Amino acid sequence: MTDPVTLGIIALVALVLLIAIRIPIAYSMILVGGVGIALVNGPQLLLSQLKTLAYGQFSIYDLSVVPMFILMGELAIVAGLSQALFRGANAWLGWMRGGTAMAAIAGCAGFGAVCGSSLATASTMGKVALPELRRYNYDGSLATGALAAGGVLGILIPPSVVLIVYAVIVEANIVTMFAAALIPGILAVILFILTIAIVVLIKPDAGPPGGAATRADFVQATLGLIPVMVIFGIVLGGIYAGYFNPTPAAAVGVFLVAIYALARGELRLSTMTEALKNTARTSGMIYLILLGAELMKIFMSRIGLPQQAASWIAESGMAPMLVMMLLLLALILLGCLMDSLSMILLVIPFFWPMLVEINGGAMATAETSAYGMSTDDLKVWFGILALIVVELGLITPPVGMNVFIISALARDIPMIETFKGVLPFFVTELIRVGLLLLFPALTLWLPSVIGG
């Protein structure tokens, strides 16, 4: 009989190899997790688990919010919210040197708040903002780099589907996670805009100022922001104020975005049907990955690999903060190879139990824990950090999916130039991660206020 820890390592290697040969991650996780459980505890236990596991996973009430927010994002694309956001931001910022790129960042943040997907944010905002950046002769690396980097804002600024899935995995409160993401998300927008300001200060020709909007255009563009602000305010404000929990909030958001699309004449039977189909495809993929992740979680817990890893780390004498930094580095590297949702579902079920053990157990308090915080606070703090560094993989070589998306839209700009363009934003993100590591209150303060 193979040693359980050795079996766990073999399983992880097999999983990575299956993903590397382009087997869908859901099927890879189901195969490895299922075979692992059968080898350790026999096929009878696996069959017993499969009998109730799918229903148990898919009937979790908190997961009902996922398809609703996905549909909200699909309808936001149909409604043309990206154009309204960019025009409004450009009316305020476009007159400055680098202002159109700053407006693209602001537009990405606003659209990400409605869409909740980094890849969709990069693609949609790229189509909207790239022609304007070309019109004002922006340097190719700054234009494409800003759009690729702006896309990463989609995952963190609430409401975020990946954030919801993380909350379900570690059994965190979704409202708490949304509150925790708000300040780090706003911080990212500010730091990205400052990054553009520094780039154009060093290289003024990289981001020429755009023309100032006329008074009529400025008023019209600003008024175009109101529907987005109203939708965002009602959905998130209602959640934070306690008027409704995330699932009804998502339903309200879908209704409001649909009304907005209908008022603009964009919501037709064909566009609504396509939005529903896309929602069904994405939701089905997420739910299937969740099933695979649960099988992997059961397998890993039965062989005790997370506990063994935590014991090894404790015996090695590594400082808890160093362990956290190494885990985040691993997430950056793995995030280069797959999308953020798959990465969270694959890694968090393994990393999180290990962190709990290092912190002092599930009942750890701020006084008794290794990280100086309770387990509940740790899951919030780690979740925000994990989501940020996983998204860094979207702008990191060799894959950098956001870079590929923007490069497909700007075929005349070499991909190496786009990677050069995202480098300042990558450094900025590392600074943000450092700030959140040094000052956990940036993540934990708002949830404590709302919770109190």
What pLDDT is attached to residue 399?
A: 66
38 φ/ψ sector (left φ>0, alpha ψ -120 to 50, else beta)? alpha
Peptide bond just before 353 cis, omega within 30 deg:
no
Q: 208 and 102 in contact (C-beta within 8 Å)?
A: no
Is the peptide bond preceding residue 398 cis, with omega within 30 degrees of 0? yes
Confidence of residue 256 (pLDDT cuts 50, 70, 90): very high
C-alpha 360/C-alpha 347 separation (Å) is 21
CA count, 13 A, side-chain hemisphere, 174? 25
Alpha-carbon gap, residue 279 to 277, rounded angstroms: 5
* Average model confidence (pLDDT) across the chain: 85
Flag whether pLDDT at 2 surpasses 70.
no
Residue 415 corresponds to which tokens in the numbers above? 């991909």
Cα separation, 343 vs 331, whole angstroms:
8
Distance CA 86, CA 132 (A): 10
Residues 6+ apart with CB under 8 A from 334: 343, 346, 347, 390, 393
257 burial level (CB within 10 Å; 0-12, 13-18, 19+): buried
Non-local (6+) Cβ contacts of 154 within 8 A are 108, 111, 112, 115, 116, 117, 118, 119, 120, 121, 122, 160
Report whether pLDDT(40) > 90: no
First to last CA, the chain: 52
Rounded distance between C-alpha atoms, residue 295 and residue 56, angstroms: 12
Query: In the Cβ-directed half-sphere of 213, how many Cα atoms lie within 13 Å?
Result: 18
pLDDT at 191: 95
Helices 305-316 & 4-20 angle (0-180, nearest 10):
110
**Reduced to 3 states, what is the DSSP secondary structure of residue 256?**
helix
Cβ 118 vs Cβ 402: under 8 Å:
yes
Within 304-400, where are the H helices?
305-316, 320-335, 340-359, 375-392
For the beta carbon of residue 450, count every other beta carbon within 10 angstroms: 17
164, 80 Cβ separation under 8 angstroms: no
Q: Are 231 and 110 in contact (CB under 8 A)?
A: no
Q: How confident is the model at residue 451 (pLDDT cuts 50, 70, 90)?
A: low
What's the pLDDT tens digit per position in 368-421?
A: 788 888 888 999 999 999 988 888 878 877 667 788 888 888 888 888 888 899
| 443, pLDDT greater than 90 | yes
pLDDT tens digits for range 261-283: 998 888 888 989 998 998 898 88
CA-to-CA distance for 166 and 174, rounded, in angstroms?
Answer: 9
Both tokens of 354, joined, read 């290990």
Q: Alpha-carbon distance 374 to 384, whole Å?
A: 16
Are 355 and 385 spatial neighbours (Cβ–Cβ below 8 Å)?
A: no
The model's pTM is 0.86
What is the percent of the chain with per-residue pLDDT over 90, rounded to a whole number? 20
Q: Please give the Cα distance from 278 to 112 (Å, whole number).
A: 17
